[in-house]
Amino acid sequence: MHEVSIAESLLDVAVDNCRQSGHTRINSIQVLIGKASGVMPEALLFAFDSMKEDTIARDATLDIVEVPLRGHCNVCGKDFEVEDRYVLACPNCGGLQYTVSSGRELTIAEMEVE
């Protein structure tokens, strides 16, 4: 729903890191997007492509790796992984008190720069 702000932050962080490493051009960016992050990959790609034009990432491709939603249930004590974009209850016992261990990532993993 807020992919434009995400794309803007992504470009800021990527451009900063590229400049700090002494490079002037970004060829590709790999990002980890958790399935429960609320970010739709297609919308993020579209926003990224529209916003990269006036930056040193103008020719960059965006490689999105989706991270599955995993958690630990504090009721039955078991770990779980679900296919969905959200979890309402532990798939094993139906408990609602759980800790999400992955699936909410919005992280830049690596970039190809020159």
Partner 1 sequence: MKLKVTRNILTANEKIAEGNQKIFADAGVFVLNLMSSPGAGKTTLLEETIKRIKDRVKVGVIEGDIAGEDDAIRIDALNVPVVQINTGGACHLDANMISSVLDDLPITALDLLVIENVGNLVCPAEFKLGEQMKVAVLSITEGHDKPLKYPVMFQESGALVISKIDLKPFLDVDVEKIRRDAVSLNPSIRIFEVSCKTGEGLDAWVAWLLTTIS
Q: Which residues lie near partner 1 (CB under 8 A)?
A: 1-2, 4-6, 9-10, 12-14, 17-18, 21, 23, 31, 38, 86, 88, 96-97, 106-114
- Residue 36 contacts residue 72 (beta carbons within 8 Å): no
Tell me whether residue 79 or residue 99 sits nearer to partner 1 (CB atom): 99
Tell me whether residue 4 or residue 51 sits nearer to partner 1 (CB atom): 4
CB of 12 to partner 1, least distance (A): 6
